[in-house]
Chain A
């Protein structure tokens, strides 16, 4: 009954809020617009915007060492989560049946365990940093912590549901998936989308000047 609810009406509501909310926020940002820049460009803003997308994937300018903690933990979490999300066998099946209508090659169990360990380790390391590093303590707000915990619990309940030994475990996981989707557009989780705009605007700004730092 509860599983039907979280995989049925609540799932639909969560998807609608997720998609509509994220679109609303993106359109809202873009609608602020920008005044046209009438200075004479030295180079292409578009090329700068594209370059900016790739340039910030890895810290450059000698910062790789100083930022190694974030770099390693960040990639562990994000890559692990991406692999889990897209290639975990239950996810492939669920997405086939509820979203896209086709399936693809899923991860073997050992692949799931490995990527889950990477994702958990990365997320925990980032959260430890958030509560222990003086800079991060200073600048973090409740949204950062809620987003971290909600993601953590969603991942954890997902692991508990992996064996599909009990419907209630699957239902609890789906409940948190729904909550995560609903929370997404209202929160800093949106950085998964807004980073493209942020890097793009900066890249374009500097691209006109002939340098993308």
Chain B
């Protein structure tokens, strides 16, 4: 383990916004009120801003304006230590989903999740990354999927879905308008979404394909804080999109995949794309508005509510589109309290669900979401993220709640008038 490497990354990651954040914090502790891990445990170590303590120390000791004078007077914090970094590995990886809810409550508007991301980069440099994430990174680099799904397995699953819906699905089709990428969780657990997409796109009359060289949307590099891995995975998608000459790459129902590709991707690979990134919810909403897909007049009568995936809604900006789609297929859609940008995380984002060490805490933290759900009493829970869906299903099982969790794309396809 290298403390000096971590210090170097912490210092390299201080830019004007990080400095402003670290200087503006008045230690009011309000961020704790927004954190599902603090709410579930009451443990003060889970206070979001406390998770930034190593970064704050490095900044105040080495970087902050006027720190030289304070250093001479012995008024700067101690240097971070090996023990400190080991202690903070749990705080930065197990007890933060990067959901960013703490920013809402912060009177200074500090983007704590953004700083946790930067802190994770220092942890990577120090060699302190949970095994689950390291393994996922190794698999995605070697095989193409963090869950080890090989191209031939993908082809088999796609073939089965094509057969099921009776619509051919072309892999690696040059000149298609849209290239779909999928999250490993969708391919493995929720593969019906592939058939759903085939039906929707057939009705809309758009050409699409899946690349066998870049089918994975999940970017474990973003989750663990490894920029090299993150850039490699984005570049893989860029290369495939350019090779297939597509106009659009469709980001799937996966929270951080959208942020990784659309918001961070160009900065990671250092260039703008020559294709557009569109989220599947944006695309579906657009196709509805253009009258290119139509749903049955009969709508879902179940009392359904929507779980907002943090990286798509709060940190992704796609707030209204899922609501438009749900209102189209449901006549009993009810919102949870503090829905939309203030919604509570599933508990498994930001790589937490890939980190088996965090499982107990993750399940425990579901009480915040449960409180939201209990207030509404839904008959079905809809979401738009494969990871959220899986995490929610596991937690619902643990809490013995009988509540089906549905994918929004599949729900739209179910009511497609074809």
Contact = CB atoms under 8 A, between A and B. Distances in A.
A188 B272 contact: no
B27 A144 contact: yes
Nearest to A62: B338
Contacts of A191: 23-26, 108
Interface stretch (A36-44, A79-87, A112-120): A36-44
Contact of A29 (B16, B262, B265): B16
Contacts of B341: 61, 211, 213
A39 B44 contact: no
Contacts of A39: 262-267
B32 A28 contact: no
A211 B319 contact: yes
A96 interface: no
B90 to A, nearest CB: 16
A195 B24 contact: yes
Given A21-B66, A194-B23, A213-B342, 19 more contacts: A28-B65, A29-B23, A34-B15, A38-B267, A52-B109, A59-B107, A61-B342, A66-B33, A70-B30, A130-B27, A134-B44, A136-B28, A139-B47, A139-B49, A190-B23, A198-B110, A200-B20, A203-B109, A213-B104
B100 A213 contact: yes
B114 interface: yes
A209 B266 CA distance: 14
Contacts of A11: none
A124 B197 CA distance: 60
Contacts of A34: 15-17
Interface of B: 14-21, 23-30, 32-34, 38, 44-45, 47, 49-50, 63-66, 69-70, 77, 100-101, 103-111, 114, 262-267, 270-272, 276, 313-317, 319, 337-338, 341-342
Given A39-B263, A197-B24, A213-B341, A32 B15 contact: yes
8 contacts: A28-B64, A40-B276, A61-B101, A66-B105, A135-B47, A139-B44, A197-B16, A199-B108
Secondary structure at the A interface, as helix, strand, loop or mixed, is helix
B131 to A, nearest CB: 28
B27 A67 contact: no
A74 interface: yes
A137 to B, nearest CB: 8
B49 A32 contact: no
B20 A186 contact: no
B43 to A, nearest CB: 9
A90 interface: no
Contacts of B270: 38
A138 to B, nearest CB: 4
A135 B44 contact: yes
Interface residues of A, number: 63
Nearest to B273: A40
A48 to B, nearest CB: 10
Contacts of A133: 29
Nearest to B261: A39
Which 6 interchain pairs have the tightest Cβ spacing? A28-B65, A61-B342, A210-B317, A198-B24, A201-B17, A199-B109
Contact of A141 (B27, B38, B271): B27
B66 A185 contact: yes
B125 to A, nearest CB: 19
Contacts of A134: 44
A205 B50 CA distance: 22
A52 B17 CA distance: 14
A35 B267 contact: yes
Contacts of A35: 15, 267
A67 B271 CA distance: 43
A157 interface: no
A29 B272 contact: no
A25 B66 contact: yes
Contacts of B342: 60-63, 213
A32 B64 CA distance: 10
B103 A202 contact: yes
Contact of A209 (B29, B263, B276, B338): B263
Contacts of B47: 135, 138-139
A61 B110 contact: no
B272 A42 contact: no
A47 to B, nearest CB: 13
A139 B38 CA distance: 14
Given A211-B319, A211-B341, A201 B29 contact: no
B114 A205 contact: yes
Contact of B317 (A27, A29, A209): A209
Contact of A202 (B29, B111, B267, B276): B111
Contacts of A188: 25-27
Nearest to B77: A141
A198 B20 contact: yes
A32 to B, nearest CB: 4
A74 B17 CA distance: 24
A55 B66 contact: no
B28 A70 contact: yes
A12 to B, nearest CB: 20
A56 B103 CA distance: 9
A33 interface: yes
A38 B109 contact: no
A43 B318 CA distance: 12
A112 to B, nearest CB: 26
A138 B44 contact: yes
